[in-house]
């Protein structure tokens, strides 16, 4: 029997306590022994909670209880969560987390601490919520040189883009609906500006290429500039629009970026709609594999964190710490990555064809046209884009 503790009793923390109780038997089988909830660190009262007997407000109670073998940090952010996480590891306890900000910003340091103290540090829930993603990437694909990861890793923006595509809504209307449904926060900046996707992309890059990537160095464009006309023209061309976080191996190391992409309608990622997430991974032996599922939510994320708790216990004395890489050089510039591009332009066909002789422009209800360019870098695109009366440009997933 091993005791575990939960730090935080928000959406994920509450879901985690429920899932651990609901599937206690299966989790005990996975862990190799029964798991007992020791404490839940809370900041507020929840007098009606069935878990209230386990509430503590003083972290040091958990820190100093030698029976607590694993601690799940589901507070979020990088203030208290960072301090507690370090102290968990320094106390010789395994740490599991769904906190993408903390993993992206301080994961390598925490991983080193975990190795030093011979405990596990697992964070499956930090990317893709409930989708098994990081363990498959690190363990099941261990026989592959990873060449690229490409994911829809933020459910809020995918919900908004899906609503814009299928219901013809503009960004503001779709955002408002997402907020009403609880899919977007009152301040949606971190989601719609791509900051959340950027953190998850950093974690995927860390695990794939052995470089510990600074999330602040990842060029990030959110979805606030995606216009209804982009979606209308994209669909007429056989594409939909998705916010993709991508990281790819390059001759100099790796590049990583987050930006809206046109995705061909036949591609699996184009079928990933609403708040669903997905990640495509290219490996040298396996080719391409894609993982899809719910990228957020109390129980899906708790599903990932609970499995990490069981795995940490299963590996007592034989700890699991994914390799988040060492500090590397500068990222290769994403603008040098050759790809086709979608251009929305306010121009007559002859002006478009003068700038892009291969273009097959389609015209939408607004009078603007859209077309797909041949493969080129963003730099090569600049002059003909201006000459063709370009209004918007998005990368195409080839």
| DSSP character string of 166-186 | HH---HHHHHHHHHHTTSS-S
What are the two backbone dihedrals, phi and then psi, of residue 203, each rounded to the nearest 5 degrees? Answer: -65, -45
Among 11, 30, 227, 376, binds its own copies (CB under 8 A): 30
**Per CB under 8 A, does 167 bind its own copies?**
no
Rounded CA separation 30/311 (Å) = 7
**Per CB under 8 A, does 141 bind its own copies?**
yes
Closest-CA residue to 263 (of 372, 183, 361): 372
What are the two backbone dihedrals, phi and then psi, of residue 356, each rounded to the nearest 5 degrees? Answer: -130, 85
Task: Name the DSSP class of 136.
Answer: I
The least distance separating its own copies from the CB of residue 299, rounded to whole angstroms, comes to: 4
Of 126-134, 211-219, 228-236, 380-388, the window that binds its own copies (rule: CB under 8 A) is 126-134
Encoding tokens for residue 320?
């699991």
When the beta carbons of 245 and 300 are compared against its own copies, the nearer one is 300
- Token pair 């080129």 is found at 376
When the beta carbons of 134 and 392 are compared against its own copies, the nearer one is 134
Of 91-99, 129-137, 184-192, 219-227, the window that binds its own copies (rule: CB under 8 A) is 129-137
Could you give the residue numbers annotated as active site? 200
Q: 268, 244 in Cβ contact below 8 A?
A: no
Among 195, 291, 333, 387, binds its own copies (CB under 8 A): 291
Measured over the CA atoms of residue 51, residue 55, residue 61 and residue 62, the dihedral's sign is positive
328-353: b (≥16 Cβ within 10 Å) or e? beebbebeebebebbbbbebeeebbb
**Per CB under 8 A, does 310 bind its own copies?**
yes
Rounded CA separation 124/135 (Å) = 7
Measured over the CA atoms of residue 95, residue 100, residue 102 and residue 105, the dihedral's sign is positive
**Per CB under 8 A, does 319 bind its own copies?**
no
CA dist list (Å): 322 to 119, 120, 130, 275, 394: 12, 9, 18, 27, 34
When the beta carbons of 220 and 303 are compared against its own copies, the nearer one is 303
Of 101-109, 132-140, 147-155, 167-175, the window that binds its own copies (rule: CB under 8 A) is 132-140
**Per CB under 8 A, does 273 bind its own copies?**
yes
Q: Which of residues 188-247 bind its own copies (CB under 8 A)?
A: none
Of 59-67, 128-136, 189-197, 364-372, the window that binds its own copies (rule: CB under 8 A) is 128-136
**Per CB under 8 A, does 378 bind its own copies?**
no
Among 61, 112, 290, 393, binds its own copies (CB under 8 A): 290
Other CB atoms within a 10 A radius of the CB of residue 44 amount to 8
The least distance separating its own copies from the CB of residue 283, rounded to whole angstroms, comes to: 7
Q: How many residues bind its own copies (CB under 8 A)?
A: 57
Of 3-11, 193-201, 253-261, 310-318, the window that binds its own copies (rule: CB under 8 A) is 310-318
When the beta carbons of 130 and 364 are compared against its own copies, the nearer one is 130
**Where does this chain bind its own copies (CB under 8 A)?**
15, 19-20, 22-23, 26-27, 29-30, 124, 130-132, 135-136, 138-145, 266-268, 270-273, 283-294, 297, 299-300, 302-304, 306-307, 310-311, 314-315, 317-318, 323
């Amino acid at each position: 029997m091993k005791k575990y503790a939960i730090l935080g009793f928000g959406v994920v923390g509450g879901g985690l306590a429920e899932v651990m109780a609901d599937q206690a038997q299966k989790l005990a089988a996975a862990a190799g022994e029964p798991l007992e909830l020791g404490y839940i660190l809370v900041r507020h009262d929840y007098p009606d909670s069935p878990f209230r007997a386990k509430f503590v407000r003083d972290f040091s109670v958990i820190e100093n209880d030698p029976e607590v073998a694993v601690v799940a940090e589901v507070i979020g952010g990088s203030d208290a969560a960072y301090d507690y996480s370090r102290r968990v590891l320094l106390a010789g306890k395994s740490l599991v987390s769904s906190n993408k900000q903390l993993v992206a910003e301080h994961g390598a340091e925490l991983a080193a601490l975990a190795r030093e103290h011979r405990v596990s540090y697992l964070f499956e829930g930090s990317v893709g919520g409930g989708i098994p993603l990081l363990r498959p990437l690190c363990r099941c694909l261990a026989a592959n040189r990873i060449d690229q990861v490409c994911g829809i890793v933020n459910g809020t923006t995918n919900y908004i883009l899906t609503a814009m595509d299928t219901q013809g809504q503009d960004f503001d209307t779709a955002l408002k609906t997402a907020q009403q449904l609880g899919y977007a926060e009152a301040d949606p900046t971190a989601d719609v500006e791509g900051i959340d996707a950027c953190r998850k992309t950093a974690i995927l890059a860390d695990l794939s290429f052995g470089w510990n990537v600074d999330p602040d160095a990842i060029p990030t464009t959110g979805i606030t500039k995606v216009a209804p006309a982009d979606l209308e023209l994209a669909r007429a061309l056989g594409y939909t629009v998705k916010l993709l976080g991508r990281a790819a191996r390059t001759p100099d190391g790796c590049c990583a970026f987050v930006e809206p992409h046109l995705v061909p309608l036949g591609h699996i990622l184009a079928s990933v709609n609403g708040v669903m997430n997905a990640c495509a991974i290219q490996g040298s032996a396996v080719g391409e594999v894609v993982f899809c599922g719910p990228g957020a939510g109390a129980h899906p994320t708790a599903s990932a964190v609970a499995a990490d708790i069981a795995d940490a216990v299963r590996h007592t004395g034989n700890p699991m710490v994914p390799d988040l890489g060492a500090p590397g050089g500068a990222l290769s510039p994403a603008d040098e990555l050759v790809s086709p591009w979608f251009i929305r332009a306010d121009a007559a066909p002859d002006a478009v064809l003068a700038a892009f002789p291969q273009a097959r422009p389609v015209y939408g209800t607004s009078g603007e046209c859209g077309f797909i360019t041949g493969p080129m870098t963003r730099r090569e695109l600049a002059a003909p884009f201006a000459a063709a009366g370009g209004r918007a440009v998005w990368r195409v997933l080839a």
